[in-house]
Amino acid sequence: MTIKSVTDVVIQEAAALLRSGECVAIPTETVYGLAADACNGEAVAKIYDIKGRPSFNPLISHFDSLSMLQDYADLNDTALALAAAFWPGPMTLIVKRSENCKISEIVTAELDTIAVRVPSHKTAQKIIRAANTPLAAPSANASGEVSPTAATHVQDSLGSKVKLIVADGSAKIGLESTVIDVTGAEAIILRPGSITAEDCADVLGYSVTIDLGDTDTPKSPGQLLKHYAPSTPVRLKSYDLKEGESLLAFGSTKFMPVSKLPDTHILNLSETGDLYEAASNLFGYLRKLDKLNATAIAVMDIPNQGVGIAINDRLKRAAEK
Ligand code: TXA
Ligand code: MG
């Protein structure tokens, strides 16, 4: 059994494993991450190996504070403004590497930019501090699978490939961090998340573009990949139901023919239509419905605004064949 509930002793054990070049799964407020010492290339290579992640797709480096980060990256005014507003928290900034940055080139896939985040999760912060090094950490699932929001999801996906999974409840936000490129004249969102374009616009004073990378040469290598895919087909914007399907509902189901399905086959992301609640339930519910052997997961329409943009981005990738 590799899952251990968080205690001070377990935090020290995690830090020792990380310092010795091993990978450890850790909780964050967004999703569970598979962490390794970002300055140790061999340790980072294990992350790619365990996940089956293509080496062209760079990783996010996690810091316990803005002051720890200053040694590794150069932050311009846009970065500092967003950092002041949203860190610690569910935001990743794409910034320039500093000249003497010690982060391994495997983390950044040899780009001259680097993805950085200061998570707000107390256990994540304590583990980074105890390891005394930035931690590279993608979501702790096999590449292409639904991201893990609980320690048991990590175990289901990666099992014995990970020496230690530090368990600390379910990830509150449930969607990966908002990724924002701040290297250009204006900030651009490359991966929508719970910090929305409107939230960024409020801080920066101009309207912030979301670039989902629907081209052959996206700005973020991760945009090339199919993601978040359950093995059951996903049918979006469903207004009807077929025998044998399951339903991922949102808001009122008054106009859905739900009597066609057993109760076990229906999960509601948020009965009150709260998009943040829906985000936190999304990956866990997709995993549950995926276990039913239904012919498809029918998903009700979700408003494409605010956090709904991030939810729809993940669902669209989940539905891709
Ligand atoms: O919430 C999260 O962000 C979680 C937790 C564990 O922190 N981590 C996570 O990491 O989702 P990952 O590796 O699954 O996603 C990192 C994304 C990828 O889409 C990658 O392509 C992009 O960030 N990325 C990393 N470095 C980049 C860079 N230098 N330029 C553009 N995109 C980059
Ligand atoms: Mg991921």
What are the tens digits of pLDDT across the range 238-285?
A: 999 999 999 999 999 999 999 999 999 999 999 999 999 999 999 999
Which of 168, 195, 210 is where one domain is finished?
Answer: 210
Residues 203 and 240 in one domain: no
CB proximity list for 162: less than 8 A, separation 6 or greater: 2, 23, 24, 25, 34, 50, 140, 154
Residues 309 and 274 in one domain: yes
What dihedral do alpha carbons 190, 177, 156, 136 form, nearest 10°? 90
Whether the CB of 21 sits within 6 Å of ligand 1? no
Residues 133 and 37 in one domain: yes
CA-closest residue to ligand 1 atom 31:
220
pLDDT band at 98 (very low <50, low <70, confident <90, very high): very high
We report the CATH number of the domain holding residue 174 as 3.90.870.10
Residues 102 and 246 in one domain: no
Domains in the chain, number: 2
* Confidence (pTM): 0.95
pLDDT band at 188 (very low <50, low <70, confident <90, very high): very high
Our measurement of the distance from residue 31's CA atom to the centroid of its chain's CA atoms, rounded to an integer in Å, reads: 5
Q: Which domain holds residue 201?
A: 2-210
* Tens-digit pLDDT profile for residues 127-170: 999 999 999 999 999 998 999 999 999 999 998 999 999 999 99
Residues 76 and 203 in one domain: yes
Residues 181 and 259 in one domain: no
Residues 78 and 161 in one domain: yes
- Ligand 1: residue of 51, 59, 64 to mutate (most ligand atoms within 8 A of CB) is 59
In a domain, 220, yes or no: no
Q: What does each C-alpha distance from 76 to 73, 89, 94, 181, 310 come to in angstroms? A: 10, 19, 11, 12, 26
- Looking at 60-69, 185-194, 218-227, which range is the least confident one? 218-227
Residues 15 and 123 in one domain: yes
In a domain, 222, yes or no: no
Residues 256 and 195 in one domain: no
Pick from 144, 141, 86: which is nearest to 116 by CA? Answer: 86
We report the CATH number of the domain holding residue 242 as 3.40.50.11030
**How many angstroms does the Cα of residue 139 sit away from the middle of ligand 2?**
4
Residues 199 and 106 in one domain: yes
Residues 184 and 305 in one domain: no
In a domain, 282, yes or no: yes
Return the percentage of the chain with pLDDT > 90, whole number. 88
Which of 146, 175, 210 is where one domain is finished?
Answer: 210
Q: What does each C-alpha distance from 174 to 112, 120, 128, 222, 266 come to in angstroms? A: 30, 14, 21, 18, 20
In a domain, 175, yes or no: yes
**How many angstroms does the Cα of residue 59 sit away from the middle of ligand 2?**
9
